[in-house]
Structure formats: C-alpha cells, structure tokens
Amino acid sequence: MRFMVIVKGSGDCASGPAPDEKFMARMRAYNEALEQAGVMIGVERLQPVSKGVRVSLSGTKPTVIDGPFPETKELVGGFWLWEVGSLDEAIEWVKRCPYLPGHGGEIEIRQVLEPDGFGPALTRQAREHGQHQRAQAGGRK
C-alpha cells in the first residue's frame, strides 16, 4: 500500500528556530533508514505558501486567488510517499520521525488510491493509461 505522509505547515520557518546541523543529520539518518527499509518512494519540500495560488473551479469561469492563505496549520509543508504493508506500519515510521519544536507538530498519513480503488467506472483503457503514467512518473512497484 502506498501512503502520502504530509508534514503540515506554511513552509515559513519564522515560527521556530531554523533547523540546525544536528537536526539535519537526524533527518538525513531517518530518510536513509526509510530508504534502506524499502519504504521510501520519494520526498519533497514545498516553498512558502506566500508563493502559491489557488484556483477555484466552480461554475464556468475559474477564479485565481494569490497566497498566502490563512489556514497555516492545515497547509502542506512537505511530504513523503511511502510503500508499506499497513497504516499501522506507516504510523510506527512517523513516530520515529525527528521533531523540531516550532516546525509542524503534526504529520498526516493518507492512503493513496490505487487504480483498483476506482471501481468499475474506471474503464480498462483508463486503467492501462494510468499505469503507463505511473510508470513514467517514477518506477513504482
């Protein structure tokens, strides 16, 4: 099962001390452990939300709103994609994640929808197309 593991935050480090070398080393070791266990598919960090935009798709005309957005606590600051056997396994890995006070005190774990999860509405053609895209996106199992 694949999981998206989301670190909450605005991406703006002003809310706490900047990560020091010691913390970075711990995070590096954590990422290495994820890799060695075959859990890690990938990891990304997002730029501060002030550089982002939102597009509202309601009615016929899309509306564009510039960041920053007020819901700082709920925004995505960064994420991993993991391949694990269960939600519980993902939770155990998250509990081992290094934590720096002031930087996203919450991590959200969300299961990725696999093509089978779409049910019969997903035609065979769309299914195969999806597999093709996933293969392009990054050699997943």
4 binds another protein (CB under 8 A): yes
Sign of torsion over alpha carbons 63, 67, 69, 72: positive
Q: For the window 64-103, what string marks contact with another protein as x by the rule CB under 8 A? A: x----x-x--xxx----x-----x--xx--xx-x-x-x--
Q: Calculate the CA dihedral of residues 114, 118, 119, 123 and round it to 10 degrees.
A: -100
Least gap, CB of 37 to another protein (angstroms): 13
In degrees rounded to 5, what are phi and psi of residue 79? -155, 155
From CA 66, how far away is CA 45, in angstroms rounded?
Answer: 20
Closest approach of Cβ 20 to another protein, in Å?
Answer: 10
| Alpha carbon separation from 72 to 17, 69, 100, 102 (Å, rounded) | 17, 7, 17, 13
User: Does the protein bind another protein through residue 55 (CB under 8 A)?
Assistant: yes
Would you tell me which residues interact with another protein (CB under 8 A)? 2, 4, 6, 11, 24, 28, 31-32, 35, 40-47, 49, 51-59, 62, 64, 69, 71, 74-76, 81, 87, 90-91, 94-95, 97, 99, 101, 105-113, 117-119, 121-123, 125-126, 129-130, 133, 136-139
